[in-house]
Structure 1
Amino acid sequence: MATSVAKCFLLSRCSGIIRSVTLQGKLPPVCIRNRNLLSQCPSFSYGNRASDNPQDGHVNIPVDRLTVSYSRSSGPGGQHVNKVSTKAEVRFHVYTADWIPEDVRQKIILYNKNRINKAGELLVTSEQSRSQQRNMGDCIQKISDIIAKATEKPHEPSAEDIALRASRLEKRNKERLKQKKLHSAVKQTRRVYFD
């Protein structure tokens, strides 16, 4: 049941409503229950360009690699919360996710140690909404954000930044030495000489 709902959710994205999850936008809650689309869209994509090159910031997320489950959500909601399983839980095995480049996988493992269980699965949950589809969309968005954060390249400092950092360090050292001399002078004045 959970897998079919997840496939429906992801298929609705590929059927023309939304082609991909962009890194900036949130997903609207839609689900088309048309099983004929399964052969047309076997994966879910994220990124800001529609190419399969990992260097372009676009990677396909295969539906069959995601394990989706639903459970009872906590919090207010009355009888609805007690009857309907709306909390979405999406997981995938990070170490064998060949659809993510190796260096990005290593960064995901490094940045998300608390989200990876002993089996090596990255676990993402959402219970923000009272709808399974919205929570599923939120989980996919979280996975997309995790991968996007891991693909970011570190900022290279410019020559101006390096010079500014060096001048600040020099200024800090001068101030430290000045304070040290003042403290030494105070201690010298406390000294009593017996002649």
Structure 2
Amino acid sequence: MAQVPKDEKCPNFSGYIPIEKLDITYSRSSGPGGQNVDMVSTKVDLRFHVETADWLSPEIRQKLMEQHKTKITKDGFLVIRSDKTRFQQMNLADALERLRTLIRMIAIPPKEISPETAEKLRKRREKAARLRLVEKRERSYTKQQRQAPDIDF
């Protein structure tokens, strides 16, 4: 087996996904495409059991289960579908790249925010909230002016 190079940005994941550990199924794609869509199985369903994926580090597996629980089935399989193109191999490549991107986004540690940046963000949020309230007051005043005056008889 060839040595897979490590990624500097993502030290926990090399980018290598063992295809033999994945469950890949093909089916007919939906949508337009003429008779070809009724005959050729181009849609790709790529799934793997997250808990038993020994090719991923335990931290990445845990984060995958937390952050992408809507994509994980009751049986614990992460499912990625692709039917972008009319070609089976291109859809398989797209699904693998999407899985690779998903894992890399989880594996890259979040950047530390400096106190100055945190303060800037806090001030920006406060200003946005103030402006939103001012706009609400102006809108409320405009609607009040449209009302007919109450006349008591």
TM-score, normalisation: structure 1: 0.57
CA offset digits 1:138-170 (Å, max 9, x no partner): 10011001101111211211132244356x39x
- Counterpart for residue 6 of structure 2: 51
- Asked if 1:117 is matched to 2:57, the reply is no
Alpha-carbon spacing, 1:71–1:163, altered in 2? closer, same or farther (3 Å): closer
- Counterpart for residue 61 of structure 1: 17
Q: Which consecutive unaligned segments of at least 5 residues does structure 2 have?
A: 131-153
**What secondary structure, in the 3-state scheme, does the structure 2 residue paired with 1:115 have?**
coil
1:52 offset after TM fit, Å?
Answer: 8.6
- Asked if 1:129 is matched to 2:108, the reply is no
**What secondary structure, in the 3-state scheme, does the structure 1 residue paired with 2:16 have?**
strand
Contact between 2:13 and 2:56, CA under 8 Å: does it hold in 1? no
Query: How far apart, in 2, do the equivalents of 1:143 and 1:137 lie?
Result: 10
Given residue 104 of structure 2, which amino acid in structure 1 is its aligned partner? A
**What secondary structure, in the 3-state scheme, does the structure 2 residue paired with 1:106 have?**
helix
- Asked if 1:146 is matched to 2:102, the reply is yes
Query: How far apart, in 1, do the equivalents of 2:15 and 2:54 lie?
Result: 11
| Count of residues in Structure 1 that have an aligned counterpart in Structure 2 | 127
- Counterpart for residue 113 of structure 2: 157
Contact between 1:104 and 1:147, CA under 8 Å: does it hold in 2? yes
Contact between 1:59 and 1:100, CA under 8 Å: does it hold in 2? no
Q: For CA contacts below 8 A with separation 6 or more, give which structure has more relative contact order.
A: 2
Contact between 2:15 and 2:100, CA under 8 Å: does it hold in 1? no
My pick for the range that moved more, 50-59 or 130-139, is 50-59
- Counterpart for residue 34 of structure 2: 78
Q: Which consecutive unaligned segments of at least 5 residues does structure 1 have?
A: 1-39, 176-195
- Counterpart for residue 105 of structure 1: 61
**What secondary structure, in the 3-state scheme, does the structure 2 residue paired with 1:110 have?**
helix
1:112 offset after TM fit, Å?
Answer: 1.2
Percentage of identical aligned residues: 37
Given residue 23 of structure 2, which amino acid in structure 1 is its aligned partner? T
Given residue 84 of structure 1, which amino acid in structure 2 is its aligned partner? V
